[in-house]
Every structure is written in structure tokens, then in C-alpha cells.
Structure 1
Amino acid sequence: MYTTVELKKEGRLAHLTLNRPASMNAMDSVMMKELADVFEELKSDVSVQVLVIQGAGRAFSAGGDIKAMLNPDSPMDIGSVMVDVSRLAKALYTLPQVTIAVVHGAAAGLGFSLVLGCDYIIAEEESKLAMNFIGIGLIPDGAGHFFLKERVGVPQAKKLIWSGKVMNGQEALEKGLIDEVTAQGTGAERGEAFAHKLLASPIAAMIASKKILHAQKTKELESILAMESEAQVAMRKTADHLEGIQAFVGKRKPEFIGK
């Protein structure tokens, strides 16, 4: 049914795996649409109470697929992509499940937005977590502004967005961005143990609390998503963005001019 992600349901527990390992699970337009579809499917499946999200291969997700952005044969339609990015962020935030992100390797850009949208985040010590859109002259999308602000507040969110700082698991924990650090190579096992601990708890009450807390913020989330979409379409047309992606592909330092 899905080509870039895999969803497995086992009773009250579901596992969602980002499955483009050859590309470090970089998100192309197909994956963005499929993630939105999966989350919307799970919204109507109240039999599932816990969702674990992880990446196949050596990373959680390297973020948006930069090579796809540059492909002249099939240029990425930023307008329709932003519709799917907004769909996936809103559906993720309003899921009637407790969501657990398990991070190993890179969780960057849109991949990090997806992680931050989860209720509980476990990262391995040597993970590389970064809201690094700034490096290619873009702004966070996938509700990156909203999820960061919810986690750490506006001043710290601005610092992280503007610097694009890459953090390991311990650094991200110290900043309050994630909930738990685990030893290298043990993330999946720890995520599984935590999921089963939740399932053995009064989880219906936990889900009800999540719904109450998140319902108050959904209108703000929608407003931020609309603003992110509009700004990202504008940023994609800037000289700095073009320079950023060309420098990234050419493995050189970009020269930005503020336009």
C-alpha cells in the first residue's frame, strides 16, 4: 500500500518505519504524502493506542530530499508539497495515540520536525539532531516552529532555528528537546520497552489528557502551518536558497547575500 513507509499494527501497538534507507530516509514528495496518509488513517483507528516511529537503515531521517529539489526532470512542486507537509503535521499532533519517536543517526530538518511532534522522544547518544533549514536558506516547516516552541519556548526556539546547530542525544536532552537518551544501538529496544510500559498503564486516561491539552493549541498550529507554507514558498525563490542547495551538493561553504 505504501512505498516509502511501512505501517505494522499488532493489537494496540503500531510501528511506523520511514523506509528509504538508501537515501537516509530523506523525505521526497511521495514520502511526505504517505506520512500524511498514514497519520490520517491512524486518526480514525482508536483500537491502536501507542505508535512508535523510527527510521530504517542508518538514520531516522536526513530531512527533505535536497537532490529531489534540484532534479530538473521532475521539479518538486513546493505548493503541493507544503499541503502534504501541513497535513502530516496536523494529523500527527491530533492523533488519538501516544506517539514515541525513536531516533538513531540523523534527524534533521523536516525529520526533526516530525520527531518533535511526538509525545515522547528517545534518542541514541550519537544521534545528530538539527533544525538545519537555515543552512539552505529555508525556514522550518512541518510545524517545526510550533513543535520547537512547545518544547523549549520562543527564545530558545529562535536560537536553534537561526543557528541550525547539530546536537547529539545528550545535548538535545539538556536543552529539553527530547525526553530520554539511550546507549548507541539500543534505541529500538528501549522504544519497544517504553511502548509496552505505556500499554500496561491506564492509557485511555493518558490519551484523554493529550486530547484536552492539544485541542487548546490546534488553531495556533493551523495558523503556524499556513504561515510556514507561505513563507517557505517565498524562501524557495530566494538567491540564498539556490546558493545553499548548490553549495550543499557541491560540498562547499555557501556565500549568502541576504536576498
Structure 2
Amino acid sequence: MTESSYDAITFEQSGAVARITLNRPDAANGMNDTMTRELADAARRCDGAGTKAVVLTGAGRFFCAGGDLKAFATAPSRGRFIKGVADDLHRAISTFARMDAVLITAVNGTAAGAGFSIAVTGDLVLAAESASFTMAYTKVGLSPDGSSSYYLPRLVGIRRAQELMLTNRTLSAAQAQEWGLVTEVVADADLADRATAVAEQLASGSAGSTGAVKTLLLSSLKNSLEEQMEAEGRFIAAQADSADGREGVDAFLAKRRAEFA
């Protein structure tokens, strides 16, 4: 296992699995300029052939309570400071969305504001039973960031997205799963182990296949039917010619377990 030194997050790499922990527990893992800058750097490091699964979680009782309002309030120019924080967060989210590795968000507690936003960007979202989700932006006179205005209407529909953003309704983990925001709800004590097990399962698979799935799903909402089917045809052909594609088909026909690169 390799570990890297950051101030506001921790980063560990074990084989093809990376683990990122938001690590400001005394500040409810609030996002300041240091955290989002480091998160963007960690995302960049995950965007390569050596990583097939990434677990993103929080230290302590909170997943992430959103932006660090104390840091915002003391900045010489609040708007410029917040824009910089948002830009780095958005760079991280864009990298997570486009990397071949699968992002598993393990929501261990409250996910508010930008914490809610990044939690639901996971390709798979695991939530502890005690986790909760709230937008909270308008409560402090701000507006959403962290890609939530893109993902929420697609995940829950425009009406529910409006309710979450305008009323700051808090959803329990079970409610979030019912709404389609969470993949699986896990007992608090089992969350870390479950996230690791899912990550290891994915790490035994084909990064090219999961990367193709992610790319196809991202493009599906802007493409016509014919454009999307053409993309599907090109991706499956490329995968069939790849080492992983050949190995997967050959292993299936030989009735053995595939050994992907």
C-alpha cells in the first residue's frame, strides 16, 4: 500500500484500488481551498491505468458539511475565493466522471451542500444508515455547485430537484435510496468494509469496459438515438479488439475466470 501526504485529505493506493478520505473532521470535513485543490490532484492521480476503483469517504461523523463558511467569510474577496474553491472541486468531479475507474462514494454521515453534490456523483453510492442528505445552499443565501444542478434533475427529476434545492429538505439514507440517489444503504459499522469489498470486486474487472460504460452514460442524455447507438457500436468493437475484450470472451468460452490487465 502507498500513502501520500496531503493536509485536508488522505490518499491511499492498494493495488488497483485508491481510497480518498476527506480529512477535516474538526470542521465537519468542510471544503476550503486546500481540500478542493488536493481533491483535484488526487482525482488526477486516479485517472490512469493503475487504478480501477476509487472509494471516497469522510473522516469522523460527517461525510462533508459543504463549503467551509468560515474560510469563505475571512477571504479578502469572497466571490473570487469561492469561485476558486468551486473550480477545483469541479475539476475533481470532471476527472472522476471521465476516468475509467469506478468512483464509489461511501457516505458515512451528513452530506450537505457540496458534500451532497459530490456524494451523488459516485458511479455507485453507498450510504450508512445514519447518513443524511440536504442541499442547504439557499439557507445561507448561496446557490448550488459541485455539479448538483446537472446530476439531480437526471437522477430524481426536475420537480424533486426543485424541492431539494429550494426547500432544503433533508433526506435520510433510506429516503435517498428510494429517490434513486443512493445505490445501497449499509449498517454504519459495515460501511467501510462494504465499500472495500465492492471496490475490490470492481478492481478485478476490465477498466476499459467500465470506462466505456461511464462514457456512454454521460453522452446518452445529449445524443439522439442513432448517435448513441453508433457510439455503442464503436465502443463494443474497440473493446472486442482490446486485450481485455479478447481475454473476457476467451475465458467465458473456456469456462474459466477472466484475468484482466
Query: Is TM (by shorter chain) over 0.5?
Result: yes
Residue number among 128, 136, 140 corresponding to 2:132 in the alignment? 128
Residue number among 40, 43, 59 corresponding to 1:39 in the alignment? 43
Q: Distance in 1 between matches of 2:42 and 2:219?
A: 21
Helix, strand or coil for the counterpart of 1:121? strand
Task: Give the C-alpha shift of residue 214 in structure 1.
Answer: 2.1
Residue number among 140, 150, 153 corresponding to 1:149 in the alignment? 153
Q: Distance in 2 between matches of 1:29 and 1:37?
A: 12
2:114 aligned partner, one-letter code: L
Task: Give the C-alpha shift of residue 72 in structure 1.
Answer: 6.1
- 2:58 is aligned with 1:55: yes
Helix, strand or coil for the counterpart of 1:90? helix
Task: Give the C-alpha shift of residue 40 in structure 1.
Answer: 2.2
1:185 aligned partner, one-letter code: A
Q: Which residue matches 1:68? A: 71
Q: Distance in 2 between matches of 1:3 and 1:191?
A: 24
Task: Give the C-alpha shift of residue 171 in structure 1.
Answer: 0.9
Structure 2: which 5+ runs fail to align? 224-261
Task: Return the TM-score normalized by structure 1.
Answer: 0.77
Structure 1 segments (4+ residues) deviating >6 Å: none
Q: Which residue matches 1:173? A: 177
Q: Distance in 1 between matches of 2:90 and 2:197?
A: 31
Q: Which residue matches 2:198? A: 194
Aligned runs of 1:6-21 on 2, under 5 Å?
A: 6-21=10-25
1:135 aligned partner, one-letter code: K
Task: Give the C-alpha shift of residue 73 in structure 1.
Answer: 7.1
Task: Return the TM-score normalized by structure 2.
Answer: 0.77
Q: Which residue matches 1:112? A: 116
Q: Distance in 2 between matches of 1:113 and 1:79?
A: 16
Change (3 A) 1:98 1:156: same
Asked if 2 retains the 8 angstrom alpha-carbon contact of 1:88 and 1:142, the reply is no
1:46 aligned partner, one-letter code: A
Task: Indicate the percent of aligned positions where both proteins have the same amino acid.
Answer: 33
Q: Which residue matches 2:188? A: 184
Change (3 A) 1:218 1:13: farther
Structure 1: which 5+ runs fail to align? 220-259
Task: Give the C-alpha shift of residue 201 in structure 1.
Answer: 4.0
Task: Give the C-alpha shift of residue 85 in structure 1.
Answer: 2.8
Task: Give the C-alpha shift of residue 151 in structure 1.
Answer: 1.4
- 2:86 is aligned with 1:82: yes
Helix, strand or coil for the counterpart of 1:173? helix
Q: Distance in 2 between matches of 1:72 and 1:145?
A: 26
Q: Distance in 2 between matches of 1:197 and 1:3?
A: 30
Helix, strand or coil for the counterpart of 1:186? helix
Cα displacement string for residues 71-124 of structure 1 (whole angstroms, at most 9, x for unaligned residues): 267857223223223222222221221010001111111011111111000101
Q: Distance in 1 between matches of 2:215 and 2:192?
A: 26
Q: Distance in 1 between matches of 2:86 and 2:133?
A: 22
Helix, strand or coil for the counterpart of 1:54? strand
Q: Which has the higher contact order (CA 8 A, sep 6+)?
A: 1
Aligned runs of 1:198-237 on 2, under 5 Å?
A: 198-215=202-219
Q: Distance in 2 between matches of 1:201 and 1:35?
A: 25
Task: Give the C-alpha shift of residue 213 in structure 1.
Answer: 2.2
Q: Distance in 1 between matches of 2:208 and 2:46?
A: 16
